[in-house]
Structure 1
């Protein structure tokens, strides 16, 4: 007869705690994307996540903690999505990079940026987070594109690509900009081939 290993009584509680935290982060992202900063309170997020306000505040003591945590979660999801891209032609990589800036994750981050421009206590946290996310996204893009940053102009070209992708994401916030975005991505793919070789 096989020995039975006792399970830690804390394991299920830890699993529940992680699941609650995950639901809160996903709910916060959805609320920011749908309702903006003004309409996204801790109570609204907790209700959407199916937890009490007290449970939400246990994981995230302040509203700023909750929403910067949500955007950090978004950043990790975006980075994971980039890292998971298969090695393929530059045009496909470029399209995937641009796609990161047109969905609900980008909309949520955008709402937090706007809030941070007006909320003194939020600004340094969002600024630091976005700097870190920007560096990671740039690093991943360089690898996916097979770019050699030792060549003059390559670093700036990759950064220009990411800035352009963010701009296309902004244009898509108000209207479906897919047709114009496709033409711009096609042109940028040709430019990248010229610059990156």
Structure 2
């Protein structure tokens, strides 16, 4: 039986988005063209342009897909977090993982390009703002703390900033050994700062 057209279209679109993320992470912004992405996804350039008429449309859709994927992963992983002792370090580890994987490396390529491209920056800033707010809210929920407390909000934001910084440090070399120690120390400090709130 032939696969329905709608299903084939959805699969093609997803392949293009995943190929875009991989291209961005591996080859950078300049090398991620519609043609290169289409080849990597195993579809014709015409099929790619049917879904995404311009490179900007493709990149913007890939950013949204990255955001949705990152958030879905966070929601799924939240159910596996330990209760009580060990929870804070597990939450910090997960947050750091978001900033050391392929999705972050792809997003970083777009952020870097957006820094010198005002039109791209206009597309990227709302997505990044949305991701930042959602990541902050999810971190608060996972830590089981009061997000209305200014000190808690600041501590959670510092944790996200730390995670992003560790992601940057991991770009050129494998920084996993030092990163694990930083995460452990930060989680201990965060627990003390948050008053080891009951989970």
- 1:163 aligned partner: 161
Q: Which runs of 5+ in 1 are unaligned?
A: 1-8
- 1:87 aligned partner: 81
Q: Secondary structure in 2 aligned to 1:31? A: helix
- 1:147 aligned partner: 145
- 2:121 aligned partner: 123
Deviation at 1:72, TM superposition (A): 1.3
CA deviation map 1:60-87 (0-9, x unaligned): 1111111121121111111111111223
Q: Secondary structure in 2 aligned to 1:143? A: helix
Deviation at 1:184, TM superposition (A): 0.8
- Give the Cα–Cα distance (whole angstroms) in 1 for the partners of residues 108 and 99 of structure 2: 10
Q: Over aligned residues, Cα RMSD in angstroms?
A: 1.3
Question: Is 1:39 equivalent to 2:31 in the alignment?
Answer: yes
**Does structure 1 conserve the Cα–Cα contact (< 8 Å) formed by 2:137 and 2:147?**
no
TM-score under structure 1 length normalisation: 0.92
Deviation at 1:99, TM superposition (A): 0.7
Question: Is 1:172 equivalent to 2:179 in the alignment?
Answer: no
Q: Which runs of 5+ in 2 are unaligned?
A: none
TM-score under structure 2 length normalisation: 0.91
Runs of 4+ in 1 over 3 A off after TM superposition: none
- Give the Cα–Cα distance (whole angstroms) in 2 for the partners of residues 16 and 195 of structure 1: 51
- Give the Cα–Cα distance (whole angstroms) in 1 for the partners of residues 109 and 60 of structure 2: 11
Q: Report the number of matched residues.
A: 188
Structure of higher CA gyration radius: 1
Question: Is 1:26 equivalent to 2:18 in the alignment?
Answer: yes
